[in-house]
Amino acid sequence: MSEDKEIEIMQSVYDKNDQVAAEINLSLTKRGIFAVNVMGSPGAGKTSTLIQIIKRLNDITPFVIEGDIEADFDTKTLLSLGVKTIQINTGGACHLDSPMIGKAVDDLNIGKGMLFIENIGNLVCPAEFQIGEHIKMLISTVTEGSDKPYKYPLAFEKADLIIINKVDLIPYVDFDESFFMKGVRALNKTAPVIKVSCKTGQGFDDVVTFLKNFI
């Protein structure tokens, strides 16, 4: 197949995805549901971050769509905490797309509240696909190192909120915060960057304050 043909096909995939995403977004907005696309590397602590946030939401009802290639550990954890959660297993696909979310939103029977959509652990592909969200929350970690914004620019560029997780490990790793921030700000002038630890709870009051602004 020619390269032109491949590019044309990819464009058609993106266009179809974005159209469905826009429909989902509108439907969620009308129903009073604020949706957060949660992105980060494998093991960045996406589910642990959601648990810390959900604990602090008080009168806002949380819903979670859990994206994984396989397995459902995180869904089981969230359900055990009483959070209305549904699992999507992509069976190999490296990101969630909007048709998957459309179906999950229907199945989950969501009411007014805050919907967290935990994407596949991947700093590349999820950033390319709208899935009906209102904002993208990117979780980076001090253990991944401070060069991540330079190496995976799209995720940092598109994020509306950037969390630096695992700050409790700073004494034991080489994390250059000013180099990290320089990389972030070259791509993204406006997203708040909040340092957190899922171990200690540090920083999550600020995360929740930011999220509640949108409700």
Q: Which residues bind a second copy (CB under 8 A)?
A: 1, 6, 9, 12-13, 16, 41-43, 68-71, 73, 92, 94, 120-125, 128, 141, 143-145, 147-148, 150-154, 166, 168-169, 172-173
Please say which residue, 44 or 110, places its beta carbon nearer to a second copy.
44
- Name residue, tokens 């093991």: 43
Q: Which is nearer to a second copy, 60 or 169 (CB)?
A: 169
With contact defined as beta carbons under 8 Å apart, do 24 and 115 qualify?
no
Question: Rounded to the nearest whole angstrom, what is the least distance from the CB of residue 50 to a second copy in the complex?
Answer: 15
> Taking the complex as a whole, how short is the minimal distance between the CB of residue 158 and a second copy, in angstroms?
13
Residue 136's nearest CA partner among 159, 114, 118 is: 159
Phi then psi for 50, rounded to 5 degrees?
-60, -40
Give helix then strand counts, H and E, for the chain. 8, 7
Q: What is the CA radius of gyration of the chain?
A: 17
**Least distance to a second copy, CB of residue 54, Å:** 19
Select from 125, 107, 119 the least CA-distant residue to 49. 119
Q: Which is nearer to a second copy, 102 or 145 (CB)?
A: 145
Residue nearer to a second copy on the CB measure, 1 or 190: 1
Amino acid making up residue 78: L
Q: Give min distance, CB of 10 to a second copy, in A.
A: 10
